């Protein structure tokens, strides 16, 4: 058979938006162009790719600065407490539409960003019992999530994989303390987003998989399981910001797999959306 341009995510140390973005960034041919695009998109937002190491693994941290504030830790479920001048405007979900309408991307990319963001809103609104329209897009954490989602969607548009697959996802265990009190890990919104994804908690008492990470995997991954046989592989490591007892990263592998009839279906035999909708 012919070869299939394949992307595989190893999520055995969890998945967060910035980790997925960092792993994809390392696979891009033109990283400078990518950062130029990312830094022109949203007012007040700066995206920096910072090389780093975690327990001997060399990779990239994606730092997202919003109005000069680093937003690494904000994206824990429900913990979005810090506010800016933007809070006073309290733009509703409609504000997201306005932000996205101005992005200079093909319709398919905008559609992907919109759908992933909406998945998170829906999960949050269902578990907290509030209508999506009542959720205010005003906090730094929300914009941070939107930047991560956009970063992943844009990187995937540049890579154009034929097939995207991933390992089962490690979520972490224990509980997190946040604005809404104490939540179990995986947090309820994350658990809802993981419904179609094989996951396990593992030993580490920390939130390893965030809602943004889960929503991106649910949207893009066509098949979960062990990595396919690939040749001409390249590796990308997106590092996580949390201080953990062992290395924290998403490992992305890019390569050519032999065509197999299974492509495009996950274990339930239910076809996942292809990323090329245009």
Task: Give, for all 278 residues of the chain, the pLDDT tens digit.
Answer: 688 999 999 999 999 999 999 999 999 999 999 999 999 998 889 999 999 998 889 999 999 998 877 765 444 444 344 434 444 343 445 667 778 888 889 999 999 999 999 999 999 889 888 887 777 654 556 888 999 999 999 999 999 999 999 999 999 999 988 777 898 999 999 999 999 999 999 999 999 999 999 999 999 999 999 999 999 999 999 999 988 888 899 999 999 998 765 444 444 433 343 333 33
Distance CA 237, CA 156 (A): 15
Buried b (16+ CB within 10 A) or exposed e, 128-166: eeeeeeebebbbbbbbbbbbbbbbbbbbbbbbebbbbbb
Task: Please check whether residue 6 is in contact with residue 254, taking contact to mean a CB–CB distance below 8 angstroms.
Answer: yes
Count of CB atoms situated within 10 Å of the CB of 95: 17
* Both tokens assigned to 30: 């033109």
Is residue 276 reached through a cis peptide bond, with omega within 30 degrees of 0 on the bond before it?
no
Alpha helical stretches, state H, the chain: 17-27, 31-41, 85-89, 94-101, 107-128, 140-159, 188-193, 211-220
Count of CB atoms situated within 10 Å of the CB of 212: 31
Q: How far apart are the first and last CA of the chain?
A: 25
């Amino acid at each position: 058979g012919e070869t299939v341009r394949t992307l595989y995510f190893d999520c055995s140390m969890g998945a967060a938006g910035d980790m997925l973005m960092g792993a994809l960034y390392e696979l891009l041919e033109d990283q400078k162009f990518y950062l130029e695009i990312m830094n022109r998109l949203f007012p007040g937002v700066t995206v920096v790719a910072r090389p780093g190491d975690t327990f001997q693994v060399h990779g990239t941290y994606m730092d997202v600065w919003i109005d000069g504030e680093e937003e690494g830790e904000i994206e824990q479920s429900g913990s979005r407490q810090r506010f800016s001048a933007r809070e006073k405007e309290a733009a509703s979900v409609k504000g997201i539409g306005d932000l996205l309408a101005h992005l200079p991307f093909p319709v398919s990319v905008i559609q992907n960003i919109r759908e992933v963001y909406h998945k998170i809103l829906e999960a949050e609104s269902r578990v907290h019992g509030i209508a999506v329209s009542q959720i205010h897009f005003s906090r730094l954490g929300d914009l941070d999530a939107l930047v991560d989602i956009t970063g992943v969607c844009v990187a995937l548009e540049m890579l154009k994989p034929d097939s995207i697959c991933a390992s089962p996802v490690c979520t972490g265990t224990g509980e997190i303390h946040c604005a809404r009190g104490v939540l179990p890990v995986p947090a309820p919104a994350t658990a809802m987003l993981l419904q179609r994804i094989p996951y396990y908690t593992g030993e580490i008492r920390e939130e390893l998989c965030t809602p943004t990470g889960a929503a991106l995997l649910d949207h893009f991954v066509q098949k979960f399981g062990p990595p396919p046989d690939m040749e001409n592989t390249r590796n990308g490591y997106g590092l996580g910001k949390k201080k953990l007892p062992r290395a924290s990263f998403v490992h992305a592998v890019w390569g050519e797999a032999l065509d197999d009839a299974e492509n495009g279906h996950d274990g339930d035999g239910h076809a996942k959306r292809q990323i090329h909708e245009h």
